[in-house]
Amino acid sequence: MIWVKVLSKQETEREDFVEMAKADGKKICIIKHKGKFSAVQNTCPHAGGILSGGWCKEGNIVCPIHRYEYNLITGRGTFGQGDYIDIYPTELREDGLYVGLKQSWIKKLFS
């Protein structure tokens, strides 16, 4: 796993937000909800909505297109959806917020 910095310390100190960040060339949805950070895939599995354009509701990220909801801890869609999103580990360090990404075997081979 590689850890990639996605927010500076100053950026982490803002009020709650949902926004897109790039980590190792990958678009990720970064969430600060009730002071807690989450990182999830940026594309909705239902029909490609952009989750970083959504909002949080009761521990879920809500897609702005058809309002499907995904749990910020498990990634599971709410009852009846039958789908899920990828959740990435986050770590708040002295210099900012980091997201943990699995390194693809191709990158491992050539790094």
Tell me, by CB under 6 A, how many residues bind ligand FES: 9
Q: Does 46 bind ligand FES (CB under 6 A)?
A: yes
Nearer to ligand FES, 21 or 45 (CB): 45
Least distance from C-beta 93 to ligand FES, angstroms? Answer: 32
C-alpha 97/C-alpha 111 separation (Å) is 24
Q: Does 56 bind ligand FES (CB under 6 A)?
A: no
Q: What are phi and psi of 9, to 5 degrees?
A: -60, -45
Least distance from C-beta 66 to ligand FES, angstroms? Answer: 3
Nearer to ligand FES, 48 or 82 (CB): 48
Q: Does 73 bind ligand FES (CB under 6 A)?
A: no
Residues of this chain that bind ligand FES (CB under 6 A)? 44, 46-49, 63, 65-66, 68
